[in-house]
Amino acid sequence: MKKQIIMNGFNIEFKDWRPKDQKLRESLCTLGNGYFATRGAAEELENTAVNYPGTYLAGGYNRAKTKIADREIENEAFVNFPNWLYLNFKIEGGEWLNLDEVKILEYTQTLKMQDGLLERRFKIVDGQGRKTSLRSLRMVSMKDKHIAAIKWFFTPENWSGKIVIKSALDGKVTNDNVERYRDLEITHIEPLYNKKIYSDSILLVVQTKQSKIKVAEAARTRVYYNDVVLDTKVKTEEEKDYISQEMHFEVTEGEHYELEKIVSFYTNKDLAITEPALEACKDIKRSGRFSELLERHKQSWERLWLRADIGVIGEKKIQELTRFHIFHILQSVSLNTIGLDVGVPSRGLHGEGYRGHIFWDELFIFPFLNLRFPEITRSLLMYRYYRLDEARFAAKKAGFKGAMFPWQSGSNGREESQVLHLNPDSGNWIADETHLQRHVNSAIVYNIWNYYQATLDRQFLSFFGAEIALDIACFWASKAFYNKEKDRYEIHGVVGPDEYHTSYPDSDQLGLNNNAYTNVLTAWVFQKVLDIVDVIGKSRKRELLKELEIDEEMIALWKDMSNKMYVPFLEDGIISQFEGYNSLKEFPWEEYEKKYENIHRLDRVLEKEGDTPNNYKASKQADVLMLFYLFSKDELNYIFEKLGYEFNEEMIYKNIDYYKDRTSHGSTLSRLVFSWILSKHDRKTSWNNFRSLLISDFEDIQGGTTTEGIHLGAMAGSLDLIQRSFAGIETGEEALWITPNMPKNIEKITMRIKYRNHWILIALNKQDLKVSFEEGWSNKVNIGVIDELYEFKNGEEKEFHLDEL
Ligand code: BGC
């Protein structure tokens, strides 16, 4: 059988037009620039059973109410904006092109990651034997963030005659990407107006219904023959929410025609604009030809790759998949994101899954960005800062102090977790009880601290980071309570990372008590804020404490809490996922594996049977084990010692063994965590998890979820594994540490990282490590290799033979 997908360096080639794979390919071939993105749908098709042309704006949300199961619920959706892609042709008297209706002689779709391009090449023959070949190039400009463009190379192979080209801006779109959400309100935009702006250009202006985001799209379409604009007969058609131009002209057999559609996209949320429609028209007027735009776009990508590329030589496809992950991260958040009021949606700007919401996934995404584009992390952390007041309100409303950030965050930072969700297996609408994942607050502090460690950006820490962190500490201090009997602090009524456990069996009360992950992280937060107030200096500390009404008594309380958070244990050093976990039933894994093809989403399987995972020792994803993912052995030693609990390396392995048999990996994040925690202990399983992670979107291993958007946490996490686990790079307080731990399936790793504004090149194979200090803020930098510290001077390079160290 012919190979369907060919990967080569920076290119991924998808062979043949395969309607059933089209929606997956669309997600995988999405093009974006961190400001907006468009799925890799076919430009000649509208929304059909095999084609979904979604366009998303970073931070483009809209709320809408729906009546479901006798309740009115409100959801905030990630809006699908007008489709700018539409471009089609027909031979006069014939039909508009639809690949499902013609004979296809050749078809290839190539994602060209080096230059950020999507190329489609095909040769078709119609019912009258007329052969046409078409090559289409598409970009969403990384340089000019408001610009996207399509270029067609069109050749009538064996015919001459009249043709019509149609270029449209289609505002009839709805939010229709996720089947499960279809019963909810899916109309989020309303048309404002549209018009022809020049003989070859059109404009469409729409607005989101509730959030009133005004979006203007303008498109200029020109046909060129021998590099000269062809005089075509243009007919503009306008409907309320749709505008198109048809261009009529004659073509000659064997000649080549070029067609360029240049689109600009503006919203009233943009900085430095007067009004979106005016800006969109201005761009279209000023815009040069496709080739000029392409050059600028390519150069931007070249600069991005220089910072971001990771060379991995080893098992087949690893290099390409690594680049594929880097590519999609940079399309979701890029230098264009800096300054926008947005966070990182867990499913990228690639689809409507999870409604573009921001969860704790940043925890897995920032490590890659911190060491290459810390400016981006800083901007994304500001998203939380701007929502501090909303988080303060949420804390107050729930009866707590400080700031309580939501589990799912969208436009203004209120809790956006869905109230009801549909179980597609049973067709039932069920209450979503996962919003009690308060651990997201600690993840925010963790992200702030790790950004600071990678950059030493004291400005950020003292003015913004510290304020967030201190208010989160205040929240935890009021949420936790003292249990005199235990002489410990406890946290009740929360949900841990494992979303399958939201309450005790037969209890009508939501939440669990003393989720170990939450409690340990809380102890860490208290320790860290005490460090943070030291780092920011006396005067800023004074200011902040006063502003946030934190007195010495509160600080003393944090100290006490950092030493006395309660951590439940089972027997023999096994940390209990939460208090009472032991009384749950063991889950009959084998029976269910036999009964169902896929039990990743055990929650859905059990709900259909009238049961719930709350009854069993069965987790969706790593929970306790997250501790071993986030912290090194030494850090854990320190945390547990301070807490007065015994901790040793053996316990780590015991816990892994215990929970690995009780996890269904219902989230791609779980594979990531398991790959990391097993990387020293069980290399084979670790590698298998890493491989699953690498292909999780590419092969859509969860069966359908990738069509709703990529999994950015898993993608970025796979890169973090290469960096933090295989290359062993860690940003310590006094130095950057490199402790290689190369798996046998990888021969060589190369990367360039930015540590505290020093650019460092790392090249590693099984025997040797080469570290070069390219340049930096100061002319020396400390780098630790295994357990020896070295001072590198500007431009200096050192080689290490690993087996001699
Ligand atoms: C996972 C969460 C994650 C969310 C968004 C869920 O399936 O359980 O941990 O934050 O997806 O990626």
Residue 123 has pLDDT above 90, yes or no: yes
What values do phi and psi take at 543, rounded to 5? -60, -50
Residues 6+ apart with CB under 8 A from 365: 329, 333, 344, 712, 713, 716, 717
Whole-number Å distance, alpha carbon 709 to ligand 1 midpoint, is 13
The span from the CA of 724 to the CA of 722, in Å, is 6
Q: Find the mean pLDDT for residues 433-454.
A: 97
Give the position, in ligand 1's atom list, of the atom nearest the Cα of 711: 12
Q: Are 706 and 27 in contact (CB under 8 A)?
A: yes
Backbone dihedral region for residue 348 (phi beyond 0: left; psi -120 to 50: alpha; all else: beta): left
Q: Is 499 a catalytic residue?
A: yes
Write out pLDDT tens, residues 212-268: 999 999 999 999 999 999 999 999 999 999 999 999 999 999 999 999 999 999 999
What pLDDT is attached to residue 805?
75
Residue with the smallest CA separation from ligand 1 atom 11 is 667
pTM: 0.97
* Tokens standing for residue 20: 């059933």
- Residue 397 token pair: 């409303």
Tell how many helices (H) and how many strands (E) occur in the chain: 21, 33
CA of 622 to the centre of ligand 1 (A): 11
Q: Which residue has the higher pLDDT, 681 or 145?
A: 145
Separation of 232 CA from ligand 1 center, angstroms?
51
Residue from 26, 185, 499, 708 carrying the catalytic annotation: 499
- Taking the centre of ligand 1 as the mean of its atom positions, its distance from the CA of residue 377, in whole angstroms, is 20
Residue 36 pLDDT level (bands cut at 50, 70, 90): very high
* Spatial distance between the Cα atoms of 662 and 616, rounded to a whole number of angstroms: 9
CA of 667 to the centre of ligand 1 (A): 6
The whole-number average pLDDT for the span 501-506 is 96
Q: Comparing C-alpha atoms, which of 204, 115, 198, 102 is closest to residue 151? A: 115
Please write the tens of the pLDDT for every residue from 47-72: 999 999 999 999 999 999 999 878 89
SS3 of 447, please?
helix
The whole-chain average pLDDT of the chain stands at 96
Name residue, tokens 């160290």. 805
pLDDT value at residue 680: 84
Over residues 379-393, the mean pLDDT reads 98
User: What are 622's two structure tokens?
Assistant: 């790593």
Counting atoms of ligand 1 from 1, which one is nearest the CA of 499? 8
* Of residues 570, 611, 571, the one with CA closest to residue 591: 611
Q: How many CB atoms lie within 10 A of CB 249?
A: 16
Residue 649: pLDDT above 70? yes
pLDDT value at 1 more than 60: no
Out of 499, 664, 674, 705, give the residue to mutate to test ligand 1, the one with the largest number of ligand atoms within 8 Å of its CB. 499
Distance, in Å, from the CA atom of 263 to the CA atom of 203, rounded to the nearest integer, reads: 10
| Residue 620 alpha carbon, nearest atom of ligand 1 | 8
759 bridge partner residues: 754, 775
The tokens for 658 are 């215990």
Q: Output the residue whose Cα is nearest ligand 1's atom 5.
A: 346
Beta pairing, strands 780-785 & 736-738? parallel
Between the CA of 70 and the centroid of ligand 1 the distance, in Å, is: 28
- Nearest ligand 1 atom to the CA of 621 is 8
For ligand 1, the distance from its centroid to the CA atom of residue 457, given in whole angstroms, is 29
**Which residue's alpha carbon is nearest to atom 1 within ligand 1?**
667
DSSP 223: E
| φ, ψ of residue 753 in degrees (nearest 5) | -130, 160
Q: CA of 477: how far to CAs of 35, 404, 449, 515, 519, in Å?
A: 38, 11, 19, 16, 11
Pick the residue whose CA is nearest to atom 9 on ligand 1: 497
Report pLDDT digits (tens) over 575-626.
999 999 999 999 999 999 999 988 989 999 999 999 999 999 999 999 999 9
> What 3-state DSSP class applies to 514?
coil
User: How confident is the model at residue 2, as a pLDDT?
Assistant: 61
Structure tokens that stand for 569 in this block: 């244990």
**Chain-centroid distance, C-alpha 293:** 27
Pocket residues for ligand 1 (CB within 6 Å)? 346, 354, 359-361, 497, 499, 620-621, 667, 669, 713
- Per-residue pLDDT of 456-500, as tens digits, reads 999 999 999 999 999 999 999 999 999 999 999 999 999 999 999
CA distance 385 to 341: 10
Pocket test for ligand 1, best of 405, 517, 669 (most atoms within 8 A of CB): 669
Segment 341-364, tens digit of pLDDT:
999 999 999 999 999 999 999 999
E-strand ranges in 351-469 read 420-423, 428-431
Atom 6 of ligand 1: nearest residue by CA position: 667
Which atom of ligand 1 is nearest the CA belonging to 359? 10
Nearest alpha carbon, ligand 1 atom 8: 667
